[in-house]
Structure 1
Amino acid sequence: MSYTLLISDLHLDESRPDHLHALKALLARHAGHCDALYVLGDLFETWIGDDDDSAFHLDAIAAFRAFSDAGSALFFMHGNRDFLLGADFARACGGTLLDEGVVVDLYGRPVLLMHGDSLCTGDEKYMAFRAQARDPQWQADMLAKPLEQRRMIAQMMRMKSAQENANKAGNIMDVTPSEVVRVMEEAGVRDLIHGHTHRPAVHDIGLSDGHGKRWVLGDWGHLVWQIVADSERGLRLESLRVDEQ
């Protein structure tokens, strides 16, 4: 049976090798069997540029390459942690880098794919940073810095983000309901899949012409979250323990 997998928010980091092991197991199990894999952002805890050739990153790239070489399509989307992920990384993996807010056909079902951070419009401070971090000139200036300097900057940004998020109300860091409706109606879909919020669930959404669903992928912690799409059962949100991979 044909099927497609969608994952998000792995936050791969050398300090958590079990997450990379779980990813490698997932890729090996589905390589050549699933039609496609979509990684909807925050694959890495930080990504400072495609020229970062650490052994950890090369190990992840090799696993993705083996997956795509087996015949399964591979797609990546930027997250709020790995917004510097580039076309060179995607090519090395044998995959394609997608724009935010793309509509894909999942077995006759048009589905809007996003990372999800742009839906959190109530977090005005983050939205301002997001606009800066997605600016081509800001990214060019960042990538022009030496690799070690970028590593230091990334570490400082992570610490600052953790401090700020600890003092934010939970609803501010969740999606804005009206923005969800807006993007779904603008895209003409009844299904939206995203990550980012780390709040896995399936929500019913009231649209002007009926009802839709918002599918939220969870982050990889003790559990591995995925959405499976196929022509027989549609979409379903699943989780497995990391040590079950």
Structure 2
Amino acid sequence: MILFIADLHLCSEEPAITAGFLRFLAGTAREAQALYILGDLFEAWIGDDDPEPLHQEIALAIKALVDSGVPCYFIHGNRDFLLGRRFARQSGMTLLPEEKVLDLYGRKMLILHGDTLCTDDHGYQAFRKKVHQPWLQWLFLALPLFIRKRVAARMRAGSKSANSTKSMAIMDVNQHAVVDALTRHRVQWMIHGHTHRPEIHTLQANGEAAFRCVLGAWHTHGSMIKVTAEDVELIPFDF
């Protein structure tokens, strides 16, 4: 089986979620052939040089999973898009591009974080385009750590304020963007996170039935998608 998770938003303020993830890595994940983390593993990421103890704890736990024989792959989310090669080496994770097609048991599946599908949220897409410019990321990461922390805190507060005035429809995926992605990659399956709306949706793409599998966020319980030769299942589970 292949497992997919996303949107854990790990932070020191939510120790129950961290504990649940550590148990998942030491238990269920060990039974998988591979684990894919589709972004927002962390609530925020201001650089691989941040000495936050939580980051080191998570790196060691993921590395233990990888060393046990279960490879771990990571696609950046909108919260941890600055996670870099240093942390990837420490954790043993393989960094993937923002869109990746997998061939799993005869099913071709497009995996991504999901924020690029929310094209109706014009303000967010403009912000995303700006912060993904390499020169701006380089400039930000060159700042002293204490300044980066202040900037990140201000940006999170601004994002929370902006989202409070947006409708849920605007912050969800755009169906045309979904179909376009499936068509571009010539696939009938998609797995993503970001929207925190766990569901397996049926739609039409490439002239036939297609499926959009949405992971849930880890709040009061975990969420994973299990892909086997027989089925694709969205599974909530207790920490």
TM-score w.r.t. the length of structure 1 is 0.95
Q: Which amino acid aligns with 1:52?
A: D
CA distance in 2, matches of 1:107, 1:238: 19
CA distance in 1, matches of 2:30, 2:212: 29
Aligned position for 1:215: 213
**Alpha-carbon distance, 1:203 to partner:** 0.6
Is 1:116 paired with 2:114? yes
CA contact (8 A) 2:186 2:206 kept: no
**Alpha-carbon distance, 1:208 to partner:** 3.5
Q: Which amino acid aligns with 2:59?
A: I
2:222 alignment partner, one of 209, 221, 224: 224
CA distance in 1, matches of 2:28, 2:96: 21
Q: Kindly, what percent of the aligned residue pairs are identical?
A: 43
Aligned position for 1:141: 139
Aligned residues: 239
Structure 1, unaligned stretches of length 5 or more? none
CA distance in 1, matches of 2:212, 2:124: 22
Matches within 5 A, 1:60-139: 60-139=58-137
CA distance in 2, matches of 1:203, 1:100: 21
Aligned position for 2:53: 55
2:236 alignment partner, one of 211, 236, 239: 239
CA distance in 2, matches of 1:178, 1:32: 37
CA distance in 2, matches of 1:199, 1:210: 24
CA contact (8 A) 1:31 1:70 kept: no
CA distance in 2, matches of 1:158, 1:193: 26
Structure 2, unaligned stretches of length 5 or more? none
CA distance in 2, matches of 1:32, 1:208: 36
Q: Which amino acid aligns with 1:65?
A: K
TM-score w.r.t. the length of structure 2 is 0.98
**Alpha-carbon distance, 1:43 to partner:** 0.4
Q: Which amino acid aligns with 1:183?
A: A
Question: For 2:171, what is the secondary structure of its paired residue?
Answer: coil
CA distance in 1, matches of 2:43, 2:127: 17
Aligned position for 2:163: 165
CA contact (8 A) 2:188 2:210 kept: yes
Aligned position for 2:23: 25
Aligned position for 2:173: 175
Query: Are the structure 2 counterparts of residues 31 and 216 from structure 1 closer, same or farther at C-alpha, using a change threshold of 3 Å?
Result: closer
